[in-house]
Each structure stands twice: as C-alpha cells, then as structure tokens.
Structure 1
C-alpha cells in the first residue's frame, strides 16, 4: 500500500489523521512559513466562515474541508458532490477559497477537490509508492528534502518576468500544483489508479451569448463577488487601470466613504497620476507608495520563496503597507484578495 502524507498549515489539531488509523501521516516539521500562516490567521480573524479543518466522520467516509466556503450546502451534499463529480453539484458546494479531501475507509480510496479558481493552493509530489499533499510548497520539501536540489529554472524565469508560473509547475521539478477546478481520485492500494480531471468548465452556451449578455453576466458576478467580501476596515489597491477602478465603482458607497486606496508606483509614473484622479473622483482616501527598482527586485526574490511562487511579488510590499496604513484586508483585482 502506498504511503500518503499531508502537510496542512491550516489544520491545528490531528483529529482527522488520528481517525485514519495510520493510513495517513501528518507532517509536523518546521516548514510552516510566516507568509502562509499569517495569511491564514488573517482569514480566521476577519471571516467567521473559515473552517479550521471541518471534519465529518461516518462508518465509511472521512471528510475534510479547509478554507472559506460560502456555500450553504450540508456535509452530506458536499460529500455526494465530490464523490459523483457532477459539475452543477460542485458549483453549489464549492464556493470560495476551499478544498475538500475525502477518504473511503472501505475502498481505501482518496478524493481531492479544488475550488473552481484554485484560490486555495494544494501541492503534490507523487512517485510509484508515495504521495505527498501540502497546502504549501515547503511542506513537500520538508517531507522530501532531496527535492530541494532540483530547481525548475523555467519556472523561476517565468515568475521574474511574468509575475506568475505557467500551468501547474512550481519552483521545483517533480512538485506540482493541483490545478483549479480539479478532482483527483486514486486508491492507496495502487497509485496507477491516479485519475485527474477538470470538473469546472464554461458552459457551451456561453459561446452563443451576445455582447450585451456578457455585460450583464460580468456585472452580476463581479457585484456578487465584491458584496461577499466588502466589510468595514477593508481597503483596495488602486492602479488607475480598469480592474481596480471597476471594483471601486461596485463597492457600496458607505464602505467606500471610509476606505483607503493604496497605489504602488515609481515616482512620476502614469499609475500614480491616474490613480490619484480616480481616488478623487470616488472620494476615497488615497495613499501613494513610491517604489524604486532595487527594492522591487529584492522583494521579488524574497516573495518568490515566501509565497512558493504562487502570488505576485508585489504582495510583500502590500503586506507592509497593510500594516502601515491600518487596513484589515484589500481588494486587489485578482481572483483572490490580499490579506
């Protein structure tokens, strides 16, 4: 039987793993790194919907959910959606920054499901007789130290030039990111049964929609996403571009009137000039933050390691600004929010 090891930074107790009677092992090394753990603690502080390991057990099934799930589906409904893999059911039961893991005691079978946009990262290493699953890249490296010597130079190049790593590759060879909207199923008795498939896709009917329909869809979905996240004390990144100014326009006026907008840019840049005009137009308190190229490069190299290459290198500067300006969390114009 294959060995399966989990390293989950957000799980603070071992109940789930104790119930597995030795089938799983839980790694507790020193690889908890400040960026991920602080980010998770910020979620716990700001949002009561964070699951610090939602655990449910029946005679056959162990179910674990990690992250923020806005779905009102019950446990049984979530388990059914994962096991069946039906897209419509998963759309309803997986709504947020969340992943779910199911272990069938009878069949010795594992099911892992990621949310539609991959907002909660899951990394894995797989050989012929071992699987490692981790919510951060360093968890895999802590369990399998020999992987540290095999740096993926292409991924490093992509991160420094494009600010992200393409496909499901990581900074290290043989360690991969489980893609967004994915179901992985396999038996611990035979890892050759490993099956990975997408559960989330755009409906074919979308291709037939008119431009006016798309305006309505984008406005509806954007408004819904912003309303779920806005709260007193939240701020926003404001580049002056279309993404950030559109989010600012959707935020409720009462929230907007008390919020702070942060803009990062080189002195004299268009970003600073345009963002200042937008902030004045919407009546938000504007806080420009001047960057220089040397500091930006140092931040990029540091953040590439801290964030596992999974987020824009500007986040290091953003986190410092959040503390400096007393903002609880930020809208940042990407699928996830910087906290």
Structure 2
C-alpha cells in the first residue's frame, strides 16, 4: 500500500490509475476508476471495506467508509466543489483526509467511527500517531513520530472513538512526507463532541489538571490495602510518569511494578527514578508490547469486542499472562491524553473489559467533572461499592435501583455527548460525567482487581473429558467420510455450547441480558468472514478440530491467560470456523 508517493504531485489520469492499483490488499478486492470533470477517482472495494481516493489540482483525498457510494457520486450531474462531494457523502459517515499540495498540509476533515490499532503519545496539546514501531523516533522531552510511506498509509486508516467528529483539525508535515505533527488547535478543540474547552484553560490544560488531581489521587491511594500491591502499568508512557509520582507521594507499599509498553517510549528509566526518589524500591519488570503483539491480539479478538479499541485490548490481553491470581493488583491505563482532551472512550472501555474479565472490582476507573466531584465521591465510597457487591451477590433488583439512581442523577444529560450508558454486561456505571462548560478538571479513580478463575477451570476440565474420545478430524477429512465428520461436528458443537452456556450462567451477567451462543453466532457473521478471509486453504487442511491434545493445549493456554469466556469462545471458534464447518453444515 505504498500510495503516498503520489500525494505531492498532480498526476494524469493514467498515472493516478497505475498508482492506485497497489491498494489491493487481498485477492477479492477490486479497484475501479472514473472521472467527473477534473476529479479523478479510484475506488477499492472489499465485502466489508470500501476506500475511495480522489484528486484535484489542489488536493489529494483519501476516504475510508463501510458503504459503497461510488454510484451515488456518479449520479451527480455536476460537482463543482469538494464541499458538494462532502455533502453527498455525509450520510455514509466517511473518514476523509485531505492533502493540500501547495500548502504541504494535511487536514482531517471527517472521521470514521471504528477500531484501529495505533501507537500514540500526548505531550501538552500535541498528539502523535504511528502504526509502525520502526517508523518512530523519540528523544527526551519532545517526541516526533517518523513515519515512512508504508507506515503513513496505514496511519490513514486509523479511526477515533471520541465521537462523530474528531477533535483533531490539522496535521502539519514538519518534514515533507516523513514527519507528522498532530496539533490540537483551539478551533479543533471546539469540534470535540464530549466537551467544549474554555479558551482560557486550553494552553495550560494539562498542567492545571495534573495539579488538581494530585491530592485527589492521594486520597484514594490512602484507602488501599496496606499489605502492598503489584502495580500494573498498561501504557508505559506519560501516564506511567504521573501515576508513579502520585503513588510514591502516597507512600503506598508496592511489591512489584509491571510495565507493559512499547519499547520506543523512554519513560522506563524516568519511572524508575521517580519511584526511587520517593523511597520506593519495588521489583521492576518491563515487558515490551511491540507491533507484532498488538497486531496479533487485536486482530484475533477484535470482533469479539466489536467497537472496542484494539490497542487497549492487546495491552490487557498481553498483560494477563504475567499476573498471579493470588496477588493484589492495581491496573492503570489512564490514557490521560484521551481524558484530558475530552476523550471518554478508553475510560468506558476499560470498565467493560475489566468487568468482563471476572475480576473483583473494588474501585472503578472513572472520569468525573468538577461540578460533581464532591457528590460523586460519596457515591464512590458507598453506593458504587454497594452496586458492585450487589451485582456479585446476584441481588439484581438492588443493583438495578442503584444503577438508575446514579445514572439518573449524574449521567443521563451528559450521556447525550456520546458513548454507551451503563455497562450492558455487568451494570457497572462507566460513562464519564463530562460537562461542556467546566471540563477543565478531570478525575480518575484507581482499580483494584483480584482474579477469580477456578470455576472456569472445572467446567473446561469436564469439557475435556467429554471430547477426549473424539477421532482426529484430519483423518476424517483425508478419508472423505463427510457424514462422519458432520456427526462429530454436531456433537462437538453441542458440547462446546453446553460448556459455554454454563460459563455464561455462572458469570455475573444480568438475566435479561443473556445471549444464547447460537444467536450470537448468527448475529456475528463478520467474525466468521474475518477468519475465513485470513486463512489459506493449506492452513485449513492442517487444522485438526477434534485432536484432543491440541484442544487441551488450546484451552490450557487460555486458562494461563486468565481470559474470560468471550476469548475462550473466540479461540475455539477459530478452529471450528477454519474448517468451514459453519459454512458447510450450519443447515
């Protein structure tokens, strides 16, 4: 996808067509071309993804959308301006980037609400992104992401989860085609769907926010167990600096610090120095989350948590295998850049992910606005914990009452700014309470988690026993005994869903929110398509669905990861779908 070579010059139609041919990423994608007046278009279509590239004398545009709208554009008798095209595309919620050739400037005109893994950092009012670890250069104090052409075209596919309009307005090229600097301007901040920043707070927003939440963090740290904690940092960046400083100031006993972060972030030494400076000397473990790990995990499970950030997902998944379920942990994935700039996405997603992992939640990760600070504090220490306790004790009526009371009083009028309401899975209130006028202070609350996993192990062990006598699928396939394969497939499917159903029922899920696994499958065909489109026929032949040792190894691996049933489901589903059994035998 090395398409960026054509953005700095005006191309003839023939050159434009030749350049865009390389956009084809898979065999079943098609590229078509058409022109309307001086506009040249290249449309790349896939069953689930559609790209449109077009160029004028002044600009080059890249559009990503999930619907086909090429024909609609063609039907226009005249398109005199780019603005007319934008108006025509509004209903499709496209993701559009404009390259202005003369000004050597890139503008993000609209965004696409979706999921994409990207590395990012935030310093002051500056945001930097990249999808290529090798394309990033960093130095102390200021960081610029050096993005090569291949990395940049991937960068164009990122989507923001902050609402229907992004808060980023301008992307300037510091060095032509190489270094990008995302700059949050005051006018860009006004685009944020979650908050309108007062002009006087924009320039010093970070500094003032960090000062204001310093004591707030300390008050919550002081409530934690004095026996000590293992601190898990899931970002490795600036968040880690502030979190460690708050923690150290609070004199909380820390047995171990586990840092998960990209290896290009130079904050590890800084974080260790902070801890040492305040007299804390815990064991320090650093694990690199590189591009390969993030791609592996986010692609593998992205459709199980559809609409969630692959970046957060992969951090969390990778960290779980490093944890000891008998120890106390505090997870920090504050994403201060998101929250400071009004993005509530990571906050609410973490509420979902942490709760879905069946951990015992003692404190919820929250973002609270200043007008509700004092009132919400009371709820945190009382009703929030009571809510969690009620949910775990299956006191659904009491929990539901608490949910509505908290949500009605503090969240309903702010929920209109975007994002889900109360967690659909566990009734945990995780919608940040943002206020459009007073969004100059934001507060976070730490999370304490303890794993509870033995009950799943027992169910899966029983599942092992039920399938241990199954014949090898590879032998059935080679012998072409289709009727026997179909019979064993149906039996395996029955046993698998029976085990899954038991896991769901003993999980903390609202009774009226229960989803039958078969219903889930029918509604999530995109996951099946994703698997089938990314596995070759040779790989399919090598899969062995009913090989007991392989299944045992697979499930044991999931137990070690301490994943929830959704990821267990996904992993088994991978094998089943790989054999195309859902396609061949679903009827």
Higher CA-based Rg:
2
Normalized per residue, the structure richer in strand is: 1
TM-score range, shorter chain: 0.3 to 0.5
> By percentage of residues, which structure has more helix?
2
* Higher relative contact order structure (alpha carbons within 8 Å, sequence separation ≥ 6): 1
How high is the TM-score relative to the length of structure 1?
0.35
Q: TM-score, normalised by structure 2?
A: 0.22
